Amino acid sequence: MADPKVISQEPISMPELKAELARIKKRDEEAGFRAEKTEEYLNVFVKISHTKAKELYAEIEKLNIPRLANEHIVKIIDIMPATVDELKVVLQGYALTVSKENIKKICDTVAKYL
């Protein structure tokens, strides 16, 4: 049996995953059981398109918020928090401190895409 090795790890957002699954499904004509279940989940929870997600990612990145990494931005895009309190809950899972002004900036940016 093959011994797979992880070359790199990069977080992707749910809209990106949905677009990638659609591409794979188109290529292979038929998706497997796990791909079907994942697609069902994504159809329920993905709130924006792949292109809008890329635009939102770029806008949040342009805010230049200290210590806000790719994985944090991807999680924000996945959850799409509408309020400051929702964003605080999303960021609680990380050892990350973000100022109130920066949290407000992120919420205002996300609100444009809701």
Give the start-to-end residue ranges of the domains of the chain: 14-45, 50-111
* Predicted model pTM: 0.87
Query: CB atoms < 10 A from the CB of 15, how many?
Result: 22
Query: CB atoms < 10 A from the CB of 42, how many?
Result: 16
pLDDT surpassing 80 at residue 1: no
Give the C-alpha separation, 62 to 56, whole Å: 10
Mind listing the pLDDT tens digit for each residue in 40-62? 999 999 989 999 999 999 999 99
